[in-house]
Structure formats: C-alpha cells, structure tokens
C-alpha cells in the first residue's frame, strides 16, 4: 500500500499518517509546513505535482484545508479566493494527480459537515467543502469501472488546529484552557463531545480499504446535522 496524504503535518492528516505508518504503509506526506518525512509543498501549485513521484501509488487522502469566519457580505474576495484556492483548487489538483497515478485503489477527500449543513460565518469554507463532496462523487462515477474508488468524509467538530483562532480564544479566556474550551464546544453535540483526529483517521481507513464502497460521503459529525 502506497498512500499520498496532504495536510499531513497536523490534525486529521497527521492522524492518518500515524495510522498507516503503524501498518507499514509506504507514505508520501505533503504539507505547506514541511518536517521530518514530510514534503513541503503548496497543494494549490500545479507544478508541485510534477515534482512529486507518485509511481506505484495505490491510495490517497486529499485532506489539506483551511478555515474561515465571516459573514457573506463582509468577506473580502481575497479571503474568499484564499479558502477556495486551498480547499477546492488544491483538492482538485491533488485528486487529479492521484487519479493519474493510481491503477487500482482508492481516494478519500476530506469534506465537512459545513458542506452539508448551513452554518453562519462559514461562507467560503462551507461552499468549498460542499464542492469537494460533489467532486468526489463525480470522480467516483468516472473511475469505478477501472477499479479506482473515490469517497469523501464529512466530519463535524474534531479537535484539531483548525479551531485555533478567534472562535476558540473566547472560550479559552472564559474557561482557562484550550482543553476545557474544546470540551465546552463539543458538549452541544448529540454525542456530547468533539471527535479525536485518530477516530476520523480510522473512518478514512475504512473508506480506503472497503472495496465495495465508492461515491459516498460519510457524515461523521456526532449527530449535529440531524
């Protein structure tokens, strides 16, 4: 198993890397923040995929993404394009490169419950995640007959660095720590907590490895979209 994982330096990508490293997989890890065993690269750069050798690739986790927080009428076009560049353009370029390299295998794209349920102040993020979920279905329809499966996962709240910023800062100031802030934010979900990145990684592994599943969006949101 040879797996490409983008956004591999933190959060869900890092958890996916740990999951498959423990299973002896051959990993190609990409992140804008390079590090040990991680290739530094910008997924929005088309030339990145000319420089990375994907020979023998069997699986991919298209995961790199960033967040936003703004009302539609207040968001600058520059901010809109920044989110779309990473979350949609970057996903497209990664998916395209993976599809060209994989003869038989599977790809998972990280979407979000924000792409399914409308949350205020997530205009660009929610729109980008809705788009990649649909993109995964189109790719699944185009590639199923040649043995390449494509699925998406739509997590809800997950304890990752994407929350770090103004949203969580107010909770930290009130409650005294990031841990207590995450706990408080997750308490409003039906299951009463945010997911751990390792839990989402296991669900991604299911989508990568279950050979009868393609064209699905696994909503793993702790029930918040009910």
Active site residues: 125
Q: How far apart are CA 178 and CA 35, in angstroms?
A: 25
Cβ-proximal residues to 170 (8 Å cutoff; 6+ apart), any chain? none
Which tokens go with 113? 């419950």
Structure-token match 């841990």, residue found: 179
Q: What is the CA radius of gyration of the chain?
A: 17
Collapsing DSSP to helix, strand or coil, 218 comes out as: strand
What CA–CA distance (Å, rounded) separates 92 from 63? Answer: 11
The backbone torsions φ and ψ at residue 7, rounded to the nearest 5 degrees and listed phi first, read 65, 40
DSSP conformation class of 86: I
Which phi and psi (to 5°) does residue 109 adopt?
-105, 135
Tally Cβ neighbours within 10 Å of residue 25: 16
Asked whether 222 and 190 are in contact (CB, 8 A), the reply is yes
């Amino acid at each position: 198993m040879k797996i490409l994982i983008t956004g591999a330096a933190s959060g869900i990508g890092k958890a996916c890397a740990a999951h498959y490293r423990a299973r002896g997989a051959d990993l190609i890890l990409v992140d804008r923040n390079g590090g040990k065993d991680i290739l530094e690269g910008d997924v929005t750069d088309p030339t990145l995929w000319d420089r990375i050798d994907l020979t023998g690739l069997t699986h991919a986790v298209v995961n790199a993404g960033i967040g936003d927080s703004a009302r539609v009428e207040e968001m600058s076009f520059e901010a809109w394009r920044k989110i779309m560049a990473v979350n949609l353009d970057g996903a497209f370029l990664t998916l395209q490169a993976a599809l060209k390299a994989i003869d038989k295998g599977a790809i998972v794209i990280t979407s979000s419950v924000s792409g399914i349920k409308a949350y205020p102040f997530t205009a660009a993020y929610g729109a980008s995640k809705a788009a990649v979920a649909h993109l995964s279905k189109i790719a699944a329809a185009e590639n199923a007959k040649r043995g390449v499966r494509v699925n998406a996962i739509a997590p809800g709240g997950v304890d990752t660095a994407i929350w770090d910023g103004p949203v969580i800062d107010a909770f930290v100031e009130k409650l005294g720590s990031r841990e207590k802030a995450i706990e408080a934010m997750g308490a409003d979900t039906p299951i009463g907590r945010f997911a751990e990145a390792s839990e989402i990684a296991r669900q991604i592994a299911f989508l990568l490895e279950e050979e009868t599943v393609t064209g699905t969006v696994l909503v793993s949101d702790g029930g918040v979209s009910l």
